[in-house]
Each structure stands twice: as structure tokens, then as C-alpha cells.
Amino acid sequence: MNVNVEELMALAERALAPTYRRPPIIFTHGEGMYVYDTAGRRYLDFVAGIAVCALGHADPGVAQVIAEQARRLVHLSNLYHTEPHLRLAEALVAYSFADRVFFCNSGAEAVEAALKFARKFARTHYGAHKTGLVAFTHSFHGRTMGALSVTEKPAYREPFIPLIPGVTFAPFNDVEAASSAITSETCAVIVEPIQGEGGVYVASPEFLRVLRKRCDEVGALLIFDEVQCGLGRTGTLWAYEAYEVEPDLLTIAKPLANGLPIGAVLMKEKVATVLQPGDHGSTFAGGPLVSAVALYVFERLRSPAFLAHVREMGAYLMERLRAAALPGVREIRGRGLLVGIEIEGEARNVTTAALERGLLLTTAGDYVVRMIPPLVVEKSHIDEAIAILHEAMRA
Ligand SMILES: *Cc1c(COP(=O)(O)O)cnc(C)c1O
């Protein structure tokens, strides 16, 4: 292909805001588990656009729904109804704890909406004083001001303070510390049942049960952020299913439309009853194109056979990783196809070495290599990835 990569890298240097570190490669297309660059090189994708492309790249079914809906109607705004957003809401409600859905365009937007709804709920039922938020160490909820306020990582927060006041961070999985952090002033507790960006930490069942109990005692709402761990990633449609603890609000996004931007907040009726027209909104959210695609993706992700495949591949990946005797590994953790490998050195050195050998991997904090492949991954891809990872870690 006749593309001048050097020229494009120089363009990136001068035209883009420098908020990302990217390798000097131009990717052109993908198919299934693989993506390709301008030199025709093939890469096995164990990042999936950060846990987004659950059905892999260039899925024919997804492409067909995009093409058909694009020819019919792409956008009208939330001033009007179209059928796709109604059918998508119907499906999300039918297969979850929730009674109602609010649509938005990203994970951070879903978190913003959930925080606002919790504030409205507390104000309506308890008065203006009950505004406190409780979040946890290693949390990641997004980059906008509200979502950042409940994200713990100092490097993400500090350049932008002051953020929303009244946020308490308690140690993740510490039942006693969480219990005392949640008080009568708390309006919401937000937690990822399985933390992603912050290092792939899995909540203990007792921890989530205690959060549920304390929220009920003080009249706070429990928000599960399943933007990364939800929608099949960990082997059940929702991560909370494995815990038998239900939230009041659930945020989802990443894989819902396999790469088109969408987010949603799922909620119990008691939360929806405090909301009224004008309380929150979005120009793009729930448009017919993205909603039609999301409905198609959701129907595939929620199928029992698909979820059984995720569990089988997750178990195989974990078993093979443990058997591989990778050098310099401290701990391997995760659930389903959300797996973190904590290592002795810098995780970024491993992802760079893997990229050079044709494998896309990402990190979760400084010392954790994260594997979040498309959920359509097969055993042969896992074998290939572990072989490359082994070489990369030796290097
Ligand atoms: C990625 C992520 C977000 C933010 O989603 P964006 O779409 O990037 O705004 C929020 N919460 C969790 C758990 C995430 O993994």
C-alpha cells in the first residue's frame, strides 16, 4: 500500500493534542481476531479496542446492520422516537435487574449520568445535604470531571483539581473500611465488580454484599460500573450475576455496539421515578444507527452459547497462562476474558516487545499486562498469544 508512514507520524506530532502515546504504525483494516498495518503486517489483537470489539473486527453481521440502518436513518435526536432505541431498551431491561434505561455515548457519560441520578434521588428523598460519594482504590470511571472525581489514580486527577467535593476513597475489598466510609451523608457508592484499568482486581463476594447492605442501611444508591466487565466479558452477561448482588444503577458502554460509541445507565424503577423531562440529556444518544447496531450486538452477546464460549476460553487462557511459566510474573488474576498479569518490571516494556512480535496487548497500571481479546477468540489464538507473550517477556 502506498502510504508514507513517516509523513503521517510527523503529522501526528504536529496536528494532534499530545494526550496519547502511540506506536509508529498506521493500521488499515481488521478481520476477526487480527488487524493489519500499511506494510501488510498482521497482528493478533488481544486488546479489542480496549474491551470494545467483542465480536472481533469487520464482523459481517455488524457491517450489514450498519449499512442497512445507515441507508434508512442515522440520527434524529432525542426530540423524537425511533424504534431501535425502544427495542434496545426493551432488551436491556428484559435481560437485567433493571426497569428502565438512559442512553448516552460513552462510559464516562454513563458514570456522569449515574452520579447525577443518584444526587437527584438523595435530594428528593432526604434533602440537599446528602451528597457524599464513596469510591475505591484502583478505581477507573472515566476522564470527565464527574467521572474523574471518583477515579482514584492521582496522575489522572491532580492536574485538574478541584473536582467534585465530598468523595471518599476506601481500600478496595476492605469490608471494614468501606462500612465506615459509607455514612448517612453518602448518596452513592460506585464500584467496578471487577476493576479493569486500575489493575484487574476482582471484588470478593463479601465486599459487594457489604456494600449492598450498607447502602440499604443509609439510603445510598449502589452503582456498579460494568463499562469494562459487563456484557459478557467475564463469562456472564453481567459481572454482578456471579455475585448475586444487584445494584440500583448499572453503567455500561464499551462493547455494546462493537465499536460505535454508545453508553447506557440501567436503573431500578425507584431511581427513574425521581427523574423528569429536562433533568439530563444528550444530542446523539440512542440514535437509530448506534441503537440498531447495539441491539444486534446485545442479542449475540447475551446468547447462552456465546457466554459458555467466553467461560471456556477464559478458563483455557488462565490455565495456559499458569502452565506457561512466564518469567518475572508476580500474580495472574481476572475472570473470563478480562485477565491481568502482574509482573516485576514495567508492563509497557512487555506490550512494546509483544507488538514487535505481532501481538497487541495493553496494560492496567504500571506493572500489569492486560489481556482483553475479542470474545470470539479461539484456543488457537490463545496458544499463539501465549507463545508470543513468552518471547516478549524473555526479551
Ligand atoms: C473505559 C471505562 C470507563 C470510561 O469509558 P469511556 O467510554 O472511555 O468514557 C468507565 N468505567 C470503566 C470501568 C471503564 O473501563
Query: pLDDT, tens digit, for every residue of 292-328?
Result: 999 999 999 999 999 999 999 999 999 999 999 999 9
CA torsion 76→81→84→86, rounded to 10°? 150
pLDDT at 1: 52
Residue 105 CA, ligand 1 centroid: distance in Å? 11
Yes or no: say if 118 and 132 are a contact pair by the CB < 8 Å rule: no
What residue ranges line ligand 1, CB within 6 angstroms?
Answer: 106-108, 111, 140-142, 192, 196-197, 225, 227-228, 253-254
Distance 384 CA to ligand 1 centre (A): 28
- Cα 257 to ligand 1 centroid, rounded to whole Å: 14
Question: In whole angstroms, what is the distance from residue 120 CA to residue 118 CA?
Answer: 5
The four Cα atoms 121, 110, 62, 236 give a dihedral, to 10 degrees, of -70
pLDDT digits (tens, 9 = 90+) for 46-102: 999 999 999 999 999 999 999 999 999 999 999 999 999 999 999 999 999 999 999
Which residue numbers in the chain have pLDDT < 70? 1
Answer yes or no: same fold for 5-59+304-394 and 73-301: no
User: How far apart, in whole angstroms, are the C-alpha atoms of residue 239 and residue 230?
Assistant: 5
Question: From the CB of residue 309, how many other CB atoms can be counted at a distance below 10 Å?
Answer: 18
**Among 228, 234, 250, 362, which is best to mutate for testing ligand 1, by the most ligand atoms less than 8 A from CB?**
228
- Sequence-distant contacts of 83-89: CB under 8 A, at least 24 apart: 83/288, 84/288, 84/289, 84/291, 84/292, 84/295, 85/286, 85/287, 85/288, 85/291, 87/291, 87/295, 88/286, 88/291, 88/294, 88/295, 88/298
From 229, 233, 193, select the one nearest 211 (Cα to Cα).
193
Domain ranges of the chain: 5-59+304-394, 73-301
- Ligand 1 atom nearest the C-alpha of 226 is 13
Please tell me the distance between residue 230's alpha carbon and the centre of ligand 1 in angstroms. 11
Q: Note whether 98 and 154 are within 8 A (CB).
A: no
What is the structure's pLDDT at 3? 85
- The CATH code that applies to domain 73-301 is 3.40.640.10
Find the length of the chain. Answer: 395
Q: How far, in Å, from the CA of 386 to the mean position of ligand 1?
A: 27
- From atom 11 of ligand 1, which residue's Cα is the shortest distance away? 141
Q: Which atom of ligand 1 is nearest to the CA of 192?
A: 13
Q: 355 phi and psi, to 5 degrees? A: -60, -45
Helices 304-323 and 288-301: crossing angle, nearest 10°?
Answer: 70
Q: To which CATH superfamily is domain 5-59+304-394 assigned? A: Aspartate Aminotransferase, domain 1 (3.90.1150.10)
Strand partners for 37: 27
Most distant CA pair in the chain, distance: 64
